[in-house]
Amino acid sequence: MTLAVHLADADYGWVYVVVGWSLTGAVLAAYFGRMALRIRRAEKSLPPEPER
Amino acid sequence: MGVWREAALVVGKDLRIESRSRVAISQIVPFGLIVILLFAFALDPDRGILARVAPGLFWIAVLLAALLAIGRAFATEEQHRARDGLRLAGLDGGAIFLGKAAAIAVELLVLEVILGAGVVLLYDVNVHGIGILILTALAATIGLAATGTLYGVLAAGLRLRETLLPLLLLPVLAPVMLGATRAFEDGLEGAPGDAWPWVALLGIFAVLYTAIGVLAFGPLWEET
Amino acid sequence: MSGAGATHTVGRDRLLDPRVSRAFGWASLVSLVALGLFGLWGAPEDATQKEAQRLMYLHVPSAWLAYLAFGVTALASLLFLWPRTRSMVWDRLAGASAELGVLFTALTLILGSLWGRPVWGIWWAWDARLVTTAVLFFLYLGYLALRRIPTGDPVGAGKRNAIAALIAFVDVPIVHFSVEWWRTLHQKATVFNPQLSAHIHGVMALTLWIGVIAFTILYVYLLDRRYRLAALEDEMEQREVDLAIAARVGTPRDGGTAPDPVEVGR
């Protein structure tokens, strides 16, 4: 990525900051969201707390 | 029957299977040699790099061939319900581990001699301290065989064993790769003194994973 | 939650009480927002690193979390292997924590690269910390792959997983030590030192602490949720097995693993 090579200057660090922070946010949100969905689906298909 | 006696039985069995089927000598060793050859295609011999990186290339070839050898060592147990036969014989888990690991180590050492000769001849390497090279190879191979046997039994009988074993085994062997290559470099340069710490590291690794193997092999073996 | 019963029932089906879990969820959201405010705005830009410094506030907590998560996996694995404490709870916990560990290890590596490039001009460096983190990633990626293979025997699989986790864990210090040795021997001065120098103080230090705390709270919450998911999946599997057995009462499942006629005495 030639763009990144030109940005190796510390003055353009903010681009990396933006990429890094948004990537982190996106990954965590996606991970959590997918998990929440799977949990909801599973809880719906199972009747609550069977007596064992 | 003592543990060592049982281990010796297992070594004998595995080596005898090899001497009859000759898989290691006819398939795994050529594989190693082909890898050595391919490295030369990948790294232009005329540029003089080969001799310098020979130790690394050698150990990578050994590592890849070891994957095959370990897979093979456990594949033989799956035939003719050999696994149950071994269990029925009531051998101690640790003994089986030592036996299988020793057999793999022997095969690897033979492989290393042949590949080593190949590297010296093909890459034009000057060998100085052969003693340190032998010591390094012994320590590295024991660690390699022990760890490989441990992961071999872990993956034995599982689907996707062939793709799982490399993924499991190779990261763990990073220190062996590192130590063996550095020690070889020092040995070939004629500075064996520098190699001793690496040999020590390899030795510690070998002892540690042999100990883990002796302890863990039994329970894992029961589960396959 | 002990003895033979633990292996046939789902056992504890969640880590935290639902209200506690929800509290942790909100707490992580709040603390992460606080981290964002401090990290992106409150903390001043670094004298030499300028804005790129701000990536450290994510990278370091991420690394901390990865090691915490794998530590938990190792501990849970030990507890599973120890007969007196054996329970599928520990196996589930080990798996959940390892998944989080791999996630945060990947994040650590990527953030480290993004931080390193503008500040030191390189995407990667062969120093002990980075290399160990990379090896760590692959070690536990393999562990997760091992866990995903279905076997008929949860306890046996649990033992296998636990041993695999411990073998990997034991290797980590060896990897770190050997790589560190390697790099110092070659006297390659580590220009690339992503860890904090002793000169971090003031708002930057505070922000870093907020990051560590926020990520730890997030870890507990995500661990609880991931555990819950695993417990639910085990429950569903258990139901399917029960149904299959009920549908064919008395007859062994054909095509599946028939009981081994050779019973080895134990």
| Mean of all residue pLDDT scores within chain B | 89
> Residue C114: what residue type?
L
Q: What is the three-state SS of chain C? A: CCCCHHHHCCCCCCCCCHHHHHHHHHHHHHHHHHHHHHHHHHCCCECCCEHHHHHHHHHHHHHHHHHHHHHHHHHHHHHHHCHHHCCHHHHHHHHHHHHHHHHHHHHHHHHHHHHHHHHHCCCCCCCHHHHHHHHHHHHHHHHHHHHHCCCCCHHHHHHHHHHHHHHHHHHHHHHHHHHHHHHHHCCCCCCCCCCCCCCCCCHHHHHHHHHHHHHHHHHHHHHHHHHHHHHHHHHHHHHHHHHHHHHCCCCCCCCCCCCCCCCCCC
C155-200 pLDDT, tens per residue? 889 999 999 999 999 999 999 999 988 888 765 444 445 454 446 6
- For the ranges B36-45, B151-160, C226-235, the maximum mean pLDDT occurs at C226-235
Contact B66, B141 (CB under 8 A): no
Confidence of residue B25 (pLDDT cuts 50, 70, 90): confident
Phi-psi region for residue C3, left (φ > 0), alpha (ψ -120 to 50) or beta? left
Confidence of residue C3 (pLDDT cuts 50, 70, 90): very low
Confidence of residue C6 (pLDDT cuts 50, 70, 90): very low
Is residue C74 over pLDDT 90? Answer: yes
- Chain C residue set in contact with A, beta carbons under 8 Å: 9, 36, 39-40, 48-55, 58-59, 62, 103, 107, 110-111, 114-115, 117-119, 121, 218, 222, 225-226, 228-229, 232-233, 235-236, 239
A5 compared with C34, residue with greater pLDDT: C34
C75-85 pLDDT, tens per residue? 999 999 999 99
Contact B62, B108 (CB under 8 A): yes
Alpha-carbon span A5 to A1, nearest angstrom:
7
Name residue C46's beta-bridge partners.
C50
Confidence of residue A51 (pLDDT cuts 50, 70, 90): very low
Of C241, C235, C246, which Cα lies nearest the Cα of C257? Answer: C241
Confidence of residue B47 (pLDDT cuts 50, 70, 90): confident
Is residue B191 over pLDDT 90? Answer: no
Q: Could you say which of C39, C49, C232 has the minimum Cβ distance to residue A13? A: C49
Q: Could you say which of C138, C156, C264 has the minimum Cβ distance to residue B223? A: C156
B53-100 pLDDT, tens per residue? 999 999 999 999 999 999 988 887 777 667 777 776 777 888 899 999
Q: What is the pLDDT of residue C265?
A: 44
B153-176 pLDDT, tens per residue? 998 878 788 889 999 999 999 999
Concatenate the DSSP letters of all residues of B5-42 into one string: HHHHHHHHHHHHHHHHH-HIIIIIHHHHHHHHHHHHHH
Number of other residues whose CB lies within 10 A of the CB of residue C183:
17
ipTM: 0.90
Q: Coil, helix or strand for B43?
A: coil
Name residue C50's beta-bridge partners.
C46
Is residue B115 over pLDDT 70? Answer: yes
Nearest chain A CA: its distance from C50 CA (Å): 6
pTM of the model: 0.87
